[in-house]
Amino acid sequence: MSRIGKLPIKIPETVTVEVQGNEVVVKGPKGALKISLHNEAKVEINGGEMKIKVDDVNFGNIHGLTRTLISNMVVGVTDGWSKVLELSGTGYRATTNGSELQLALGFSHPVVIKPLTGISFEVKENKITVKGADKVLVGEVAARIRGLKPADPYKAKGFKYENEVIKRKAGKAAKVGA
């Protein structure tokens, strides 16, 4: 039995959870999310709590994973998820044009990123915030943006996550005497 999987999930009053066969649908103020369950996982809803049950001991990993995914869905439809990226470097800029994100990253053309369904962008100075209800989707979009120009270890120019520490490297040593 999984230690994480056996913990109950608290369901706020603003959230409704429906079990439809092998799928769980979580609806809240920020939208609705759906997940397909593994055949061994069963969901029990008692009042304001939800528990995940797995009959076979060998599926402890599925137990914990299912519980965490549903818990992330509940948090996502109530509060939402966000990732903050910092952009540094001379001439590197980020702006929003409607719902699109426009980036000037030193390429010959501006990079335009269209948001996926349920994702929004917010730009303040050199910080880009990716927001949405689906934690996996928010992380994936943020990783794709970061992948366009990851911060290099020599000058730390490019994208980095808000609390990410870039290990700096020394530049090329100058030759002394020739």
Q: What is the pLDDT of residues 86-118, one digit of tens each?
A: 999 999 999 999 999 999 999 999 999 999 999
C-alpha–C-alpha distance, residues 36 and 19, integer Å:
10
List beta partners, residue 157.
none
Domains of the chain: 9-78 (3.90.930.12), 81-161 (3.90.930.12)
pLDDT of residue 81: 97
pTM (2 d.p.): 0.88
Q: Is 122 helix (H, G, I), strand (E, B) or coil?
A: strand
DSSP state of 150: B
- pLDDT-based confidence at 5, cuts 50/70/90? confident
Is the pLDDT assigned to residue 2 strictly greater than 90? Answer: no
pLDDT of residue 1: 63
Q: Is 152 helix (H, G, I), strand (E, B) or coil?
A: coil
Q: What is the pLDDT of residues 42-65, one digit of tens each?
A: 899 998 899 998 888 788 888 899
Residues 78, 134, 34, 73, Cα dihedral to 10°:
-40
- pLDDT-based confidence at 39, cuts 50/70/90? confident
Residues 52, 136, 97, 84, Cα dihedral to 10°:
100
C-alpha–C-alpha distance, residues 15 and 133, integer Å:
13
C-alpha–C-alpha distance, residues 132 and 114, integer Å:
14
pLDDT of residue 58: 80
C-alpha–C-alpha distance, residues 50 and 82, integer Å:
25
